[in-house]
Every structure is written in structure tokens, then in C-alpha cells.
Amino acid sequence: MAAPKHTKSVGWVLHLGKVEFDRVLGWQRGLVKLRREGMARDTIILVEHPPVVTVGKNGHSENYKDLKEEPYFIERGGDVTYHGPGQLVAYFIFDLTRRNRDVHLFMSNIQQGVINALADFGIEAKKGDEYTGVWVEEKKIASIGVAIKKWISFHGVAVNLNTNLDEFNNINPCGLQSSIMTSVQEITNKKVDLGDFGDNLLGKYAELFHTVFYPVKLEEIAEDIESQAGGNVI
């Protein structure tokens, strides 16, 4: 049974800085197994990636046919997207059986957290009417793609803060024209500190998910994660 909404659950947050996508993907998979076994708490990972293109299970090859390098094909929903410097990515390893197995609410809260954080930076954003993600007028500022295995979630949302938007030009992000993408820097003409935005975003998620997220260091749980992370089967 889910905890009453007036109580606070306890979760973890991992602030990773800038880490390669494939390493973090392995850690996510390890945490999924640990969460399923009750050896980890609901966890948010905040991270920035070096440049990489990923394709979800709904990917269409025509949307990344101009790429010179092979993208990563992964389990999340959605099509093709880009991750890179200046973009904050939040991954959610949550046990949804403890959250009433309400996938719609879970996805809605992920988007709403970004909307609420952007408001504190002077940007009015909204959920997409036709397409998922977070939008500012007719431009997309955050992309969402989640996987759920036996009610444990992973993957999450990518928010364009100071992202070089030209990096989207070789793909059709989420099946859309690359010109649809925007960033906080493009809108405000100011650079955003990823740490400051991440702290703000985490506070919004604490409110929406009724959870206190305590920071843990990767080295404190690395051995457990690495022992579970081998292979793709989760």
C-alpha cells in the first residue's frame, strides 16, 4: 500500500557531474535490480553526459539516418534524442508498486517538476498537448523517455539548459524537426549553473513525489551496483 500523501518517503539522490552515458546506463540497470530486491531506495540520478545520441524502442531509422556514428539503442520509450554538455539529465529508479502503479501520474510528475523548476528561472513552460516532454510556447525544452520493468522505472528526462542546439541538427529529435528544440540559455540569453538548477529541480521532485531525497555517494554503493550491472537483462 502506498504511503499516505501527508507522509514523506525516503529516497536517494546521486549527483554524478559529467559521466559517459554507457557507464550511467549500467549503473541504472544495477540499481533497478537492487531496488527490486529492496536493497536500494527510490533514487534520482542527476548527471551531464558527453555528446551521445540514443534511440528508444519506438525509434525510426529515418530520424537518425544522417548520423556518422552508431547511436545507443536502449529500453526507454520514445524515438531518437541527443544528450550532451549543458544538458541536465534526471534518471528515476523508482518502485512504482509503492506509488499505486500509476504510470500516468509518474510521467506527469516528471514533467511537472521541470515546469516548476523552470518557473523559478523565469520561464513559463507546459506539458505538450500532442507530444510528450516540456514545452515553452511552440519549442521543446525537455524530452522524456522512461522504461518500466516489473514496476521498477529507469531512464527519465533531459532538460536543455546551456545545450548547443546545433547538435540536434543530425537527427529528428523525437521524430520532430531539430529546429523545434530550445534551451534556457536561448530563451533567457543567460547561462545556467547545472548544479543550481539540479538542486532546484530536486526540491520540486521532493514535493511532487512526497519524498525526501538524501544524497548518497557513488562509492558508498558502487560495489553493490557493479555486482548487479552485468548484462542487459533486468
Query: Which residues carry out catalysis?
Result: 174
Helix (H) and strand (E) counts in the chain = 5, 11
**What whole-number distance in Å separates Cα of residue 163 and Cα of residue 9?**
33
- What is the average per-residue pLDDT within 18-28? 96
Task: Evaluate if residue 186 carries a pLDDT over 70.
Answer: yes
- What pLDDT band is residue 1 in, cutting at 50, 70 and 90? very low
pLDDT digits (tens, 9 = 90+) for 190-230: 999 999 999 999 999 999 999 999 999 888 887 777 777 65
Instruction: Give the domain 9-223 fold.
Output: BirA Bifunctional Protein; domain 2 (3.30.930)
- What is the average per-residue pLDDT within 106-128? 97
Three-state DSSP at 177 gives coil
Which of 15, 33, 77 is CA-nearest to residue 230? 33
- What is the average per-residue pLDDT within 80-97? 97
Q: Mean pLDDT over all residues of the chain?
A: 92
DSSP string, 82-141: EE-TTEEEEEEE-BGGGGTT-HHHHHHHHHHHHHHHHHHTT---EE-SSSSSEEETTEEE
- What is the average per-residue pLDDT within 167-187? 94
